[in-house]
Amino acid sequence: AQRVTQPEKLLSVFKGAPVELKCNYSYSGSPELFWYVQYSRQRLQLLLRHISRESIKGFTADLNKGETSFHLKKPFAQEEDSAMYYCALIAAGNKLTFGGGTRVLVKP
């Protein structure tokens, strides 16, 4: 069965510093990978998907099939990036599987 691991429960960085949220997955096929974000008092929403290969709010994520990773990166963190982030995977024919989540705190 597929599994998504986010090793950091909490990531604390200063404003302007780079931030990288780690996501590793276990699945032998070709997965679809996503990052969801939940800002304070807002609903959980899709941040980006790997097939789009786009940058959203300055965040990018690259699928590394060799390392089975999909880390989320932003070169210069902003205070408004403080939120809960979930990595998620869809394996063929199956529902979305979420990682345990990483809380990001950007300090001024």
Partner 1 sequence: DGGITQSPKYLFRKEGQNVTLSCEQNLNHDAMYWYRQDPGQGLRLIYYSQIVNDFQKGDIAEGYSVSREKKESFPLTVTSAQKNPTAFYLCASSIRLDNEQFFGPGTRLTVL
Binders of partner 1: how many residues, by CB under 8 A? 18
User: Using the rule CB under 8 A, is 85 a contact of partner 1?
Assistant: no
CA distance 92 to 89: 10
The window from 15-23, 63-71, 75-83, 98-106 that contacts partner 1 (CB under 8 A) reads 98-106
Shortest Cβ 86–partner 1 spacing (Å): 7
Residues 24-83 that bind partner 1 (CB under 8 A): 34, 43-46, 49
The window from 12-20, 62-70, 74-82, 99-107 that contacts partner 1 (CB under 8 A) reads 99-107
Give Cα separations from 69 to 14, 28, 43, 76, 79 (angstroms). Answer: 25, 13, 26, 21, 26
Joined tokens for residue 11: 């990531």
| Interface residues toward partner 1, by CB under 8 A | 9, 34, 43-46, 49, 86, 90, 92-96, 98-101
